[in-house]
Structure 1
Amino acid sequence: MRNKIDYGIDLGTTNSAIARIENGVPTIKKSDTLKDTVPSCIHFNKRQDILVGDTAFNVMKNDNARALKTLEKGKTNTFIEFKRTMGTTHSYECSNMSKSFSSEELSSEILKKLKSFVQDENISSIVITVPAKFLNPQNEATMQAAKLAGFKHIELLQEPVAAATAYGLGSNSKDGFWLVFDFGGGTFDAALIKADEGILAVKDTDGDNWLGGKNLDEAIVDQIIIPNLAENFAIESVLEDSEQKEILRNAVKFYAEETKIQLSFKDSHNILSQLGDLPFEDENGNELEVDVLVTQKDMENAVSPIFQKAIDITKELLKRNNLKGADLGALILVGGPTYSPILRRMLKEQITDKVDTSVDPMTVVAKGAALFASTISVSDEVKETTRDKTKLQLDIKYEATTVELDEMVNFKVLKEKTTGTFPEKIYADVVRFDGAWSSGKKLIGEKATILDVLLVEGRSNSFEINVYDEEGNKLECQPHQFSILQGIGGLDGMQVLPYHIGIAKFFNTESKDLFLPVKGLEKSKKVPATGVINGLKTRSAIRPGMINDIIRIPIYQGDYNAEGTNPVLNNFINEVIITGESLPALLPEGSDVDITIKVDRSQLMKFSAYFPLLNHTEELEIEIKQTEPPTEDLLTNEISKAKHTAINVNANDVSEKLEELEVQLENEKGSADGKMKILDGLRKELLKLDNAEKVAEWPKVEKDLKDAYFEFEELIRKIKENSDDEDLNMNKVEAHIKEYKVGIEHIIKNKDSKAAKELIEEIEGLDRELRNSLSGGLIDKGRLEYHDQEFSTLQWKDKNKARQLINQGLKLIQEGKTSQLRPLLHQIWDLRIDDDGDRDTLG
């Protein structure tokens, strides 16, 4: 039984690996073909055997080529890169198995294969790495895949954190900023790490879940291989059919992967297929062959724009943290594509010459995951199921990471967990992995005994626990070893939120829902984390026992610039729904709601809503909703609408990006993950358009703000001039004027449309109140008469009560008591149902 998890898996898009701590060292467990990594590839043969890894990868080329014979989609039985559709509803049809598989089911087979490389023990607990920019549905899908693979205790770890852990342990530099540049098979992450005397902290992250080696392969296919085929063969009809084109792309992708690898170490590579490799005849009856010499220049033309996207993301990350490449102590390369000399040259030219190649880009994440796993205790549930009670059970407590050279370890005998018979006096001797230090025999018992252990600097220190009776006879114990990482710290709080977690909140000034981050769950907050929003208001009454009376709270993830944007442009997690069925009493419209969201280390969430008026709390799990891949028609229409908007607001840079997306859609409309990638790119451009529209509307908003202030200022001047201020608190009014003046200067300086609209509403509200007071309630009189005249067209919660209140108001008007109308009006407003179609969300 292990005290800590000790096992880490890098579940990659194209390749995966497993590592464990052995004698304090993170060690890659070799595949059945004695490789460090295994292709994340699965093949189902006609006997319905499941082939995973190298065997599957070796048949993939033939499997994809066979699809060329019929040019029918869905006939393939080999699957790879399904990590790109994790967390979506997309499934992979398998003809040999007569069923479809989800991304989670396929990923679970990779995890089972990795687990099989460990023959000397069963693994129940695991740390699995995920891209830093993975969304909640993708994280949830990864957890589900691990459960399907039989793991009981699962922890998710962001890939750049894993890489920084492995790098940091062996690095001579224990201070300064590091940049993890993780360009993997299907995703890209950049993470800014601050090291302070060996204590690591993630300062900020960025990335792209749709940018990786797969894109490089596709660029080589689309810009080198397919043009070569189109030049030499008549394949126009295939290229015009999106499904047939996708089948052709898959069939020749093997050559692109091979070219990418070869040109990481050579100046040129000749792509040459053998007759029969591509079993397809063109429109003239000629069988397809590939024969093209690819140079470094050809490769650079194809892939440098893709690498540039990753470099631009990195530059932006540094810029918003007020750093330059020269401020970095190291740029750490992670992922197979970072072997590319083209990328390394671009990084040195544009970021820093301190590109660090000291760690293996292919295994550093798995090793880092194992190191991190050595600091995470196995769950009590797993401990109980793996406990051998015939062995002496020990409880060991210690700090799993330290920058000190010694550490206190707390030992206690758990006799209640032990069924065997053991002597009264028990001695423990703790021996370090290198045999150069031991504690000597120390008496231990049911009360805590503290031992000081000495550590070797800059590595994981493994200790063997030897237990003896009074006569020196050795006793079996669990656990029998533990590890402490020396030279690195802060791992327990190193992971951060990659996105804001927020809600859709109704803003009166905008007359619509906008994205509002939950305080405490902003981007780059350490996890676990707790976020709170107080004082939200119900927008309709919720009656007890009524299942149709609903409060909807949509939860989203948004990037660093998402606050105040249209919620639908962010990533929808799910909608929390609270109904009257669970409430103990009536919750009137406008009641306060305080919400709390807790996010654990793996970014899974729990939600609670507190209703102060009822002293009642609702606690709910936030179920993660799978996303639906977009259709080609949806993307076509949305890109077209966005182009029209971009022209109207003169957003030329956005227009160019949208045209690029149109080209991508033409190339990748037959691929589910290709369409997901285009949707992600489209959302980014729509967010830019959202900001551009706000900038475009600013001149009008600025004029409205100035007009509202000047009109209010003119009203005050007339009040003073006519000496009408006897019944008004003018000191308070003039204090407001001073506040408004300062606020307006700040708003205009920042061109803050949202704040301007809020201030306009406040100024106009006070203006109306003063005019109403000066007129003896004439404005309120007009409001009441409006409700009387439009009574039949308005929607009411209680029509009879509303009519009764309006009649009372009409009587006050007849009696000349218009100054007494305000309390009645408040009651009338409370009975109104706003016709905005969304009144059950929070404001």
Structure 2
Amino acid sequence: MARTKIDYGIDLGTTNSAISRMENGEATIKKTDTLKDTMPSCVYINKKKAIQVGDSAYNALKSDKLRAMKASSNFQSNAFIEFKRTMGTDKKYPSSNFEKDLTSEELSAEVLKTLKSFVKDENVNSIVITVPAAFKNNQKEVTREAAKLAGFNHIELLQEPVAASMAYGLDSNKKDGFWLVFDFGGGTFDAALLKVEEGIMKVIDTEGDNYLGGKNLDYAIVDEIILPYIQENFVIDSILADDTKKQILRNAMKEYAEETKIALSFKDEHNILPPLGEIPGEDDEGEEFELDITVTQNDISKAVSPVFQKAIDVSLSLLERNNLKGSSLDSLILVGGPTFSPVLRKMLEEQICKPDTSADPMTVVSKGAALYASTVDVSEEVREQTRDKTKIQLEIANESSTVETEEFVPIKILADKTEGEIPEKVFAEVTRGDKAWSSGKVEINTIGEVFEISLNEGVTNQFSVTLYDDKGNLLECEPDSFSIIPVKVPPATLPYNVGIELKDKTTGKVRFKTIKGLEKNQSIPAIGTRNGLKTQKQIRPGMDSDFIKIPVYEGEHASEGTRAIYNEHVTDIKISGADLPSLLPENSDVDLTINIDRSEKITVTAYFPYLDYSTDIEVDSTQTSIETSWLENEIKKAKGSIAELKEDGNSDNGQLAKVEAELEQIEKSFENNKNDVDGKQEVLTNLRKSLKTIDELNDTTEWPKLEETLKEEFYRLEKVNNDLGNEKTTQVVNQFRSQLDEVIRAKDVKLGNVLLEEIEGFFIKLTFIYQLIGFIRSHNENFGSFHWKDSGRARTLLNKGLQIIGENPTVDELHPVVISLIDLLPNDERPSGDDSVLVG
């Protein structure tokens, strides 16, 4: 029978994946080819170019990593895992057997195809795939792309903590209070705070880290337990001095670390003792590598506690900003294989509260995805492809989820979708799965009839629909059943502030601005607007070189007004003259509307009131990798900021010492991952957090210097106003004086910086005429050193400007001349500043 709901959910994990299906009202795991609940998210291409996925691929991966130790530095593995962590980047995975490079989404598609193959009794065209709540927009985009490559026609995305909370909520007796989902997976970490009232769940807030997970635990065990053992028993100076060889060694040892991590989740100690000769290669003195390490709970606790602590700190921060404590929680729900660790569970109990271990951390996300899928209609396109029109087609408009015990369900006949004969009179009977309730036979038609159905409380209710003619003969219909789950599906929320970079009209600085309606934790789907933005230059029709740039960003908590490095670049939307029907003058209004659907697909509409014209742009996220040299420089700048803070007398500050230690760890991680796309992403994520702390520390030490600067700039403005101002400008200056007195009394750094920007901006406005005069005179005196696009036109404009200057010039007269001159200059000779971004 063709499904009217999606009904299938996939947990596409970093290290393990699973697929579930709704069967008789219950989310059921579909077993893998090795009869397990989950499958390794691992892909292997053999010498015959055949693709293997799952356990066999994972076994090949381990062999490949060991062979890499003995092979030359150009050894290429043909087994891949943890590519989820490079989704949304331009990272390529070269395969010598396949004779081509593979992308993260191509590898993910192979995992999805294999999961789909575990369903033997029907074709799966529609799917719900879970993603980390902290996934960026570009990571979600390529997840959709992977699903398309895997042959799915209808794809919905669902945040992993939301899926987990649905599965937990279905089985839990706790129907009220605050829940915290602690989702520590193989490669990512999410914390989601939910409020539950009478079984109705609402996501209040989320936080996460896309580069914190089981992989980090594995490398912590490698770096803190296995490598020290090797250094103590072997001579490996040449390996440690070579970044490539060192990474090969770490990768080979990671498999033993993962085995240790899993073993110590269920027993007190584990012995790392590979068979003799399993580890190829030799140390600097020709000794073959061997391992014989007994790892205790105490040993592993020392190694992995700092990694777990990062996740706990994220959770505590999430609770704190929502004015909650661990004791306020009614449930702490564990998700992900690493949450089996007794080390973590003890840390959580000590620092937050005792975890609820009733749900299976390995399958709760997949099952929750299937539950959610049972509430989502398949797309009309897929529905049309799968209809059996020989049966009477019905529309059953039931609520898919509810906490009520009674619901009204309209049912009607779709005559235009039915090719077979429809009797003059048709009767429908709705029967509950336990046979304890039935509607009786009720006549239905193409207009529809409403059935009042009775539900059993706290369980999934399955209903069958049977049709009869007026003689009591059975009629075939489609669909012939529906189910209602006893939990209200919580809407997903925006994990980030969605906004754009704008040039501040007062200060001229380019900063991140959140779009109203698209703030973090806004329920999705959502629509945001920002009206009255201004263009900085004219856009000529048909000219690709004339364009408006709208940089779209995702910003973390407290990102408003921050610099670009603090936020995640989604894409740059460009609207050029080729997209517009006629000339758009400088300083024209632009109204933006940004629509985000329930799968977090972004569409931007730009409306130009002057032209009465709008254009729609579907956002395709940018896939890039981080430049190693740029990241190295940003770390150096952060260390320099620490040194400056120390010079200002903050050596005893505990927070400064903490962030300094964080930077040391970041630098160490950078040195270990210079050539690794995933590793560099992780370094940048952690660096951003440290930079925010540094900025906060700067705020506390900045006041004396800021106060001095504020006074200097105000006195400078006051002097210029005495020389050039009028009654109107004098009123503004007097307002600044009052604000300055208030800020100095409060010693408020944030307000002080805002006031400084306003004073500097007004000074520029007041002296603008002199800047214009200076520009014209300078370019006249150095005419021959500029590469004018049209030197004759430039000379005419400069002569006109000089004439205006000699006659009592005004801004209105000189400004158009200067703008025209700038248009005649090549981009690299124009005054600095991006004039393509909007002003707001």
Quick check: TM above 0.5? yes
The residue type paired with residue 382 of structure 2 is V
Equivalent residue letter for 1:205: T
Q: What is the SS of the residue equivalent to 2:575?
A: strand
C-alpha displacement of 1:825: 5.0
In structure 2, runs of 5+ residues without a counterpart are 647-655, 823-829
Aligned amino acid, residue 418 of structure 2: T
Match of 2:632 among 632, 636, 652: 636
Q: Is 1:547–2:536 an aligned residue pair?
A: no
Q: Mean Cα displacement is larger for which, 64-73 or 701-710?
A: 701-710
Local SS of the residue matching 2:494: coil
- Residue-by-residue CA offset, 1:280-313 (whole Å, 9 max, x unaligned): 2333333222111000110001000000000011
CA distance in 1, matches of 2:103, 2:730: 68
Name the structure 1 match of 2:652.
none
CA distance in 2, matches of 1:239, 1:334: 36
Does the CA-based 8 Å contact 2:775-2:818 persist in structure 1? no
Amino acid at match of 2:636: S
Of residues 516-525 and 668-677 in structure 1, the stretch that sits farther from structure 2 once superposed is 668-677
The residue matched to 2:806 in structure 1 has which SS? helix
Shift of 1:343: 0.4
- Counterpart of 1:11? 12
Partner of 2:65: 64
Residues 507-535 of structure 1, C-alpha deviations (whole Å, 9 max, x = no match): 25544311111111121111111111122
What amino acid maps onto 1:587 in structure 2? L
Deviation at 1:738, TM superposition (A): 9.3
Secondary structure of residue in 2 paired with 1:356: coil
From 531, 536, 551, the counterpart of 2:533: 536
- Once the two structures are overlaid, the 10-residue window that deviates more, 86-95 or 745-754, is 745-754
Could you tell me how far 1:338 is from its partner in structure 2? 0.5
Letter in 2 for 1:668: N
Aligned to 2:558: 561
Structure 1, 563-572 or 3-12: larger mean CA deviation: 563-572
Residue 68 of structure 1: CA displacement? 2.5
Aligned AA (1:531): G
When structure 1 is superposed on structure 2, of 655-664 and 276-285 the one drifting more is: 276-285
SS of equivalent to 1:401: coil
Post-superposition offset of 1:342: 0.6
Secondary structure at the aligned position of 1:649 is classed as: helix
Change (3 A) 1:510 1:784: closer
Q: Give 2:365's aligned residue.
A: 365
The question of 1:824 aligning with 2:813 is answered: yes
Deviation at residue 107 of structure 1 after TM alignment: 0.8
Q: Which residue of 1 aligns with 2:587?
A: 590
Deviation at 1:786, TM superposition (A): 4.7
Q: Deviations over 1:8-30 (max 9, x none)?
A: 11001111111111111111111
- The worse-fitting range, judged by mean Cα deviation, of 437-446 and 24-33 is 437-446
1:838 to 831, 834, 837: 834
Please report how far the alpha carbon of residue 757 of structure 1 lies from its aligned counterpart in structure 2 after TM superposition: 2.5
- CA gap of 1:786–1:103, structure 2 versus 1, over 3 A, is closer
State the AA in 1 paired with 2:756.
Answer: K
Unaligned stretches of 5+ in structure 1?
720-724, 769-778
> Is residue 685 from structure 1 mapped to residue 682 from structure 2 by the alignment?
no
RMSD over aligned CA atoms reads 2.9
Superposed, which structure 2 residues align to 1:357-396 within 5 Å? 357-396=357-396
> CA shift at 1:782, angstroms?
6.1
Correspondence 1:751 to 2:750: yes
Q: CA deviation at 1:31?
A: 1.1
The TM-score, its normalising length taken from structure 1, stands at 0.90
Are the equivalent residues in 2 in contact too, given 1:74–1:93 (CA < 8 A)?
A: no
Residue 389 of structure 1, CA deviation: 1.3
* Equivalence for 2:165: 164
Equivalent residue for 1:227? 228
CA–CA separation in structure 2 for the residues paired with 1:437 and 1:550: 65
Structure 1 residues 764 and 559 mapped into 2: Cα distance closer, same or farther (>3 Å)? same
Q: Which of 415-424 and 173-182 deviates more?
A: 415-424
Cα drift, residue 704 of structure 1? 4.3
What does residue 426 of structure 1 align with?
Answer: 426
Percent of aligned pairs with the same amino acid: 51
- Which residues of 2 match residues 242-391 of structure 1 at below 5 A? 242-353=243-354, 355-391=355-391
CA distance, structure 1, for counterparts of residue 521 and residue 383 of structure 2: 33
Cα contact 1:92–1:102 (8 A) shared by 2: yes
Question: By how many angstroms is 1:250 displaced?
Answer: 2.5
Q: 1:78 to 1:791 in 2, by over 3 A?
A: closer
Instruction: Identify if the C-alpha distance between structure 1 residues 789 and 673 changes in structure 2 by more than 3 Å, giving closer, same or farther.
Output: closer
- Supply the distance in 2 between the matched residues of 1:85 and 1:780 (Cα, whole angstroms): 48
TM-superposition CA deviations, 1:397-423 (whole Å, max 9, x none): 122221211111111111111111232
Q: Determine the C-alpha separation between the residues in 1 that align with 2:341 and 2:816.
A: 70
Match of 2:650 in 1: none
**1:731 and 1:440 mapped to 2: Cα distance?**
84
- Rounded to whole Å, the distance in 2 between the matches of 1:141 and 1:71 is 33
Q: Does the alignment pair 1:657 with 2:657?
A: no
Task: Report the equivalent of 1:441.
Answer: 441
SS of residue matched to 2:590: strand
User: For residues 783 and 221 of structure 1, what CA distance do their matches in structure 2 show?
Assistant: 61
Aligned equivalents of 1:787, 1:239: Cα separation in 2 = 57
Preserved contact between residue 74 and residue 94 of structure 1 (Cα < 8 Å): no
Residues 735 and 477 of structure 1: CA distance in aligned 2, closer, same or farther (over 3 Å):
farther
Query: In 2 relative to 1, CA 734–643 (structure 1 residues): closer, same or farther, beyond 3 Å?
Result: closer
User: Shift of the alpha carbon at 1:73?
Assistant: 4.5
Corresponding residue for residue 773 of structure 1: none
Tell me the equivalent position of 2:649: none
Partner of 2:680: 675
Return 833-842 or 319-328, whichever deviates more: 833-842
Structure 1 residue 784: Cα displacement: 7.5
User: 8 Å contact 1:708–1:763 — kept in the other structure?
Assistant: no
Distance 2:556 2:540 in 1: 37
String of CA shifts for 1:584-632, please: whole Å, max 9, x gaps. Answer: 222222211111111111111111111111111121111111121443x
Cα contact 1:806–1:828 (8 A) shared by 2: no
Are 2:706 and 2:749, in contact at CA under 8 Å, matched by a contact in 1?
no
Q: Which has the higher mean CA deviation after the structures are superposed, 739-748 or 113-122? A: 739-748
Return the letter of the residue paired with 1:79.
F
Structure 1 counterpart of 2:469: 469
Q: Secondary structure at the match of 1:168?
A: helix
Q: Which amino acid aligns with 2:479?
A: P
Structure 2 vs 1, CA of residues 783 and 9 (structure 1 numbering), >3 Å: closer, same or farther?
closer
The secondary structure found in structure 1 opposite 2:680 is: helix
The equivalent of 1:522 in structure 2 is 519
Residues 578/276 of structure 1: CA separation in 2 closer, same or farther (3 Å cut): same
- Provide the rounded CA distance (Å) in 1 between the counterparts of 2:729 and 2:637: 51
1:503 to 500, 503, 528: 500
State the Cα deviation string for residues 298-338 of structure 1 (Å, max 9, x = none): 00010000000000111111111111111111111111111
**Residues 824 and 27 of structure 1: is their aligned pair in 2 closer, same or farther, counting only changes over 3 Å?**
same
Q: Measured at CA, do residues 450 and 346 of structure 1 come closer, stay the same or move farther in structure 2, by a change above 3 Å? A: same
Do 1:510 and 1:757's aligned partners in 2 also have CA atoms closer than 8 Å? no
